[in-house]
Amino acid sequence: MAELMSTPTTTETTAGTGAPPAAGATVWLTGLPSAGKTTIATALADRLRAAGRRVEVLDGDEIRTFLSAGLGFSKEDRHTNVQRIGFVAELLARNGVLVLVPVIAPYADSRAAVRDRHAAHGTPYLEVHVATPLEVCSERDVKGLYAKQRAGELTGLTGVDDPYEPPTDPDLRIETQAGTVQDSADALHTLLTDKGLLA
């Protein structure tokens, strides 16, 4: 009779080799629409995956579709959406995943609540302000939102006719108009290295 053997879990395998599990963390990239948040996150994620890191990018549009489809864009609904994303991010980060969150999160109190959730679990959390000026974001207009707002087809656009509260003390501030996407990704990579999150 064949002997039954169990497949070791990731934790067991890691423990068996004596290698410590990689530290997880959440990196929240906040900024105006078309600031370059997702572009930077994707570039960094590609680089880190190539180096063997477990990375997830929590895209705001995907979260809206699959977790927050019933929410609108009132302040209360935006807050709820950010808290849902923060919950998922912290859960992943607590389990060794480096989570990049390129989501506007326009309100300071919403971002603070996410930071507090991470702190309560001892999970590293970094806030990055992608501080691309409004006029540059409007010119890029990746999703056509600014054009729709100017045409009167859209209201509640963050930074135009809806508030955006920029971070006063972010862990990193990136001005994408001053360099390339690679420059921005490099700056973020350096931050993670300096914080000991890529060891």
38 annotated as ligand-binding: yes
The values of phi and psi at residue 22, to 5°, are -65, 140
- All domains of the chain in start order, with CATH: 23-194 (3.40.50.300)
pLDDT tens, N- to C-terminus, the chain (199 residues): 344 333 343 443 344 444 456 689 999 999 999 999 999 999 999 999 999 999 999 999 899 899 898 899 999 999 999 999 999 999 999 999 999 999 999 999 999 999 999 999 999 999 999 999 999 999 999 999 999 999 999 999 999 999 999 999 999 999 999 999 999 999 999 999 999 999 6
**Cα 27 to Cα 139: distance, rounded to the nearest angstrom:** 26
10 annotated as ligand-binding: no
69 annotated as ligand-binding: no
Type and span of the H or E element at 57: strand 55-57
Cβ contacts of residue 98 below 8 Å, gap of 6+?
Answer: 22, 24, 25, 27, 48, 53, 54, 55, 56, 192, 197
65 annotated as ligand-binding: no
24 annotated as ligand-binding: no
143 annotated as ligand-binding: no
**Cα 53 to Cα 60: distance, rounded to the nearest angstrom:** 22
The single residue listed with the structure tokens 């930077």 is 40
Task: Tell me if the pTM is above 0.85.
Answer: yes
